[in-house]
Amino acid sequence: MCGIAGIYAYKHNASPVDPDELNRIRDAMQHRGPDDCGNWISDNREIALANRRLRIFDLSDKGHQPMLSQDGNIVLTFNGAIYNYRELRKELDAQGHVFRSTSDTEVLLQLYQEKGRAMLEVLRGMYAFAIWDQNKQQLFIARDPFGIKPLYYADDGKTLRFASEIKALLKSTSISRELDPCAAVGFHLLGSVPEPYTLLKAVKQVPAGHSLTITREGDISIEPFCRIEDILYAERETSALTLSEAREQLAVILKDSVDKHLIADVPTGFFLSAGRDSGTLVGLAAELGHSDIHTVTLGFKEFSGTAHDESSLAEEVGRHYATRHKTIWVTKQDFKDSLPAFLNSMDQPTIDGLNSYFVSRVAVQSGLTVALSGLGGDELFSGYPSFTDIPRIVAALKFLPPGSLLGKGFRTLSAPFLKHLTSPKYAGVLEYGGSYRGAYLLRRGLFMPWELPEVLDPDIARAGWKELEPQLLNENQALSSASSPQARVSALELSLYMRNQLLRDTDWASMAHSLEVRTPLVDITVLRELCKVARQTDFFSKEDMTSALKKPLPERVRSRAKTGFAVPIRDWIAEDNPEASQARGLRGWAQYVFQRYVESVS
């Protein structure tokens, strides 16, 4: 796990790379890579790559980055982990490649030499990397299919800069701080900034599952190599598999992923909650024979003894599978003391992230360098209410086309009254409820589109919504013809909520403490294999997931209703910050975070 950065002065009239600028960007990410750092700058100072390294595989200096090919023509800086790197190395060995290290970084380097961009078709892992190809005179950048690892870039028409963090990029004085209306609107709608936007107009994200190539002439191409929606929307196949046989296949898929994600040369453990996702992963690790399993749970003193207290059930799971379990308690005072650092670490505004921030901190305090998380279980196995709510709403209102005059009229007349009586979302039911994307916005939305001028500058609200509306609401053909309602909702949850909030928050919140978090359920091989099974048996349920265990989870965990991982943050912030006295509730917290983030990047 690392922080990566680079500067490419591709136009003939661009200023040469400034080594001091590169160092400022790189070292702003020291928390991502406290173990080592390095730079590579071309002789003509047109291209430079940098890296901050957190040692996970091959702890020796042989894994130093940026890494050069033996002939010096290929240079790589890499952030992430490749879980099938050992299998790929064997194939490369057979083709005559000679390795100097045992790192996954060198496998990536030599895989590019062998396959070029086609390397992306065989990678299994989380990654963001950049490769300078001296022979082709081009910079090649890629980001994993789910977007687990971040990558941001700014292109001013002469020079392209990139880094793992926005705030690191801003150590360059050449990047404009002008706010992007689309990002501001997207955040207020959904509580996170949708990719490829960032709150700064000059900075964009490399989209998940895409590569970016830029030549010396300044020709830029951004191309997809894997879309999770395409995998989920593929046509069903018929099969004679019984449910029992399909569950056996599922057990094999999940065990393989847990086994792969536990590969490391440093202490590794699990985030353990009272939910079935993390408990299943821990149980599978125990069945696979992994000994001395470390598990960590976060508890809030204010929730002790309530339905939101996960500590006792997590401890029961730990005893059940004989883990070395530790519960760390967080108090209101801990929050107050940590709030400045928490907000400073936030690389994009979000209404979430505090739980990931604290549990990552306690994982490191427990001696872990890598932690496995159950993130993704709800999105793959229909764990959210949205999997039933959205299809029900759409089925009831599908006779109304999106944006119908009836729906708009009802919203216009009812919104002023409903906002004082109940949730303002009800005003938009007829306008948006007849499509999956519209119903998803109603289900997940923070503020509704018609409320935006009340919380943002009206001009910003109008400009941002005008551009963002078709991206959020248009039903493409693939979504409309998806094989099942569950596949449609899963695709929306994976590509919006999980990608733009859960994964992004997990990344910055964990890397703030130099912890690598891995997600065995968010894995491209798991998704592909799971969809094969799902097409044959039509299941995507938590019961099917937990059936992978030979030793079942404790009954209290199996029968526990989903509550989500609650954090008393909004009440804490409202009680102790006079300027945030209106911050009670999720909307107030969102406005507070947004304002603090804007101030931090201005």
Q: What is the pLDDT, as a whole number, of residue 581?
A: 45
Does 565 score more than 60 pLDDT?
no
Q: Which stretches of 114-257 are assigned E, i.e. beta strand?
A: 125-133, 138-143, 152-155, 159-163, 204-205, 210-215, 220-224
Does 538 score more than 50 pLDDT?
yes
Does 576 score more than 60 pLDDT?
no
- Extract the tokens encoding 218: 């300044």
CATH topology of domain 235-378+491-568+584-601: Rossmann fold (3.40.50)
Length of the chain: 602
pTM for the complete prediction?
A: 0.94
pLDDT 10s digits, 228-275: 988 887 766 656 678 888 899 999 999 999 999 999 999 999 999 888
Q: What is the pLDDT, as a whole number, of residue 311?
A: 87
- Extract the tokens encoding 569: 């943050």
**Cα separation of 306 and 319, whole Å?**
21
Does 411 score more than 80 pLDDT?
yes
* Mean pLDDT over the full length of the chain: 91
- CA geometry: angle at 539 spanning 538 and 542, to 5°? 170
> How large is the greatest C-alpha to C-alpha distance in the chain, in angstroms?
73
Q: What is the pLDDT, as a whole number, of residue 477?
A: 60
Specify whether the CB–CB gap between 524 and 414 falls below 8 A: no
Amino acid identity, residue 119? M
Does 195 score more than 80 pLDDT?
yes
pLDDT 10s digits, 70-122: 999 999 999 999 999 999 999 999 999 999 999 999 999 999 999 999 999 99
Q: How confident is the model at residue 332 (pLDDT cuts 50, 70, 90)?
A: confident
- Extract the tokens encoding 47: 């291209």
Q: What is the pLDDT, as a whole number, of residue 582?
A: 46
Q: What percentage of the chain carries pLDDT values higher than 70?
A: 93
Residue from 148, 375, 372 nearest 271 by CA: 372
> What are the Cα distances from residue 486, in Å, to 208, 401, 489, 491, 493?
22, 21, 5, 8, 10
Residue 545: phi and psi, rounded to 5, are: -65, -50
Q: What is the pLDDT, as a whole number, of residue 568?
A: 67
Q: How confident is the model at residue 298 (pLDDT cuts 50, 70, 90)?
A: confident
- CA geometry: angle at 49 spanning 45 and 51, to 5°? 145
ω before 34 within 30° of 0 (cis)? no
DSSP 502: I
Average pLDDT over every residue of 221-228: 96
Chain-centroid distance of CA 394 in Å reads 28
Q: Which position has the higher pLDDT, 344 or 540?
A: 344
Q: What is the pLDDT, as a whole number, of residue 583?
A: 47
DSSP SS3 for 460: helix
Q: Where are the alpha helices (DSSP H) in 376-476?
A: 377-380, 386-397, 405-421, 429-432, 436-444, 452-455, 458-473
Paired sense of beta strands 47-53 and 125-133, if any: unpaired
Q: Which position has the higher pLDDT, 6 or 366?
A: 6
Average pLDDT over every residue of 337-351: 94
pLDDT 10s digits, 171-190: 999 999 999 999 999 999 99
Q: Which CATH class is domain 2-226?
A: alpha beta
DSSP SS3 for 153: strand
User: Residue ranges per domain, the chain?
Assistant: 2-226, 235-378+491-568+584-601, 386-486
Q: What is the pLDDT, as a whole number, of residue 132?
A: 98
Does 563 score more than 50 pLDDT?
yes
ω before 196 within 30° of 0 (cis)? yes
Of the listed ranges 142-151, 408-417, 452-461, 540-549, the least confidently predicted one is 408-417
pLDDT 10s digits, 21-72: 999 999 999 999 999 999 999 999 999 999 999 999 888 889 999 999 999 9
**Cα separation of 374 and 394, whole Å?**
29
- Extract the tokens encoding 442: 């109603």
pLDDT 10s digits, 453-504: 999 999 999 999 999 999 999 876 656 666 688 888 999 999 999 999 999 9
pLDDT 10s digits, 441-450: 999 999 999 9
Counting beta carbons within 10 angstroms of the beta carbon of residue 414, is it exposed (0 to 12), middle (13 to 18) or buried (19 or more)?
middle
